[in-house]
A = this chain, B = another copy of it.
């Protein structure tokens, strides 16, 4: 009962399922603001661009959260989803690469709001080291290993030029980092116990390009 979520996590959960859970959570949060008390799988589905059966199946991997005939309690399901996604705690995040993207991410309030706390930003450029962004100080990349040894961040965001990405990742991993959000357009080679997610904007544009080129047939 302490962790309804955990008790079911025997079979591997598909990536696509986790992404949808994230989407449901966001919609639930919006609904709560609007004062909605209860929501059906069908309403959740329409907003999330999926089907009600999909919503129920996704949730069923983790437990049984709804009331038949009624739907789901917005606050209860919100809390369960946060639990499932591991958002019940704060995660320490470092940003590596204080360039255009790193800067945008470091100043973005949305992450803190969801429990991702940026503890430090690193760069190799002497012109950037020591500069302050709001509450965040850009630190010297040569310190990263020492800092990680002291407080290991849960997640490292990699926002360095593509040619530096693998080396930087190797350094972080050697220092103990187990999860990386990579913005460089390259497939990082990492050991099996390290998780990587990629945000590849050029790839998304290419996906649109493919669709546009193949509209005809």
Contacts and interface: CB of A to CB of B under 8 A. Distances in A.
- In this complex, the member of A18, A27, A100, A213 whose beta carbon has the largest number of chain B beta carbons within 10 angstroms is A213
B103 A207 contact: no
A203 B85 CA distance: 10
Interface in A35-82: 47-49
Given A101-B104, A214-B9, A114 B204 contact: no
Interface string A178-217: 1101000111000000010101111111111111111001
A212 B195 contact: yes
Q: Which 6 A-B pairs have the closest CB atoms?
A: A86-B213, A100-B104, A86-B209, A197-B204, A22-B203, A179-B208
A154 B199 contact: no
Q: How large is the interface on A (under 10, 10 to 19, 20 to 34, 35 or more residues)?
A: 35 or more
B100 A108 contact: yes
- The dominant DSSP class at the A interface is helix
Given A26-B185, A187-B27, A209 B108 contact: no
A6 B25 CA distance: 40
Contact of A197 (B18, B93, B208, B217): B208
Contact of A212 (B9, B18, B47, B178): B178
A120 interface: no
A94 interface: no
A91 to B, nearest CB: 6
Nearest to A102: B104
A179 B87 contact: no
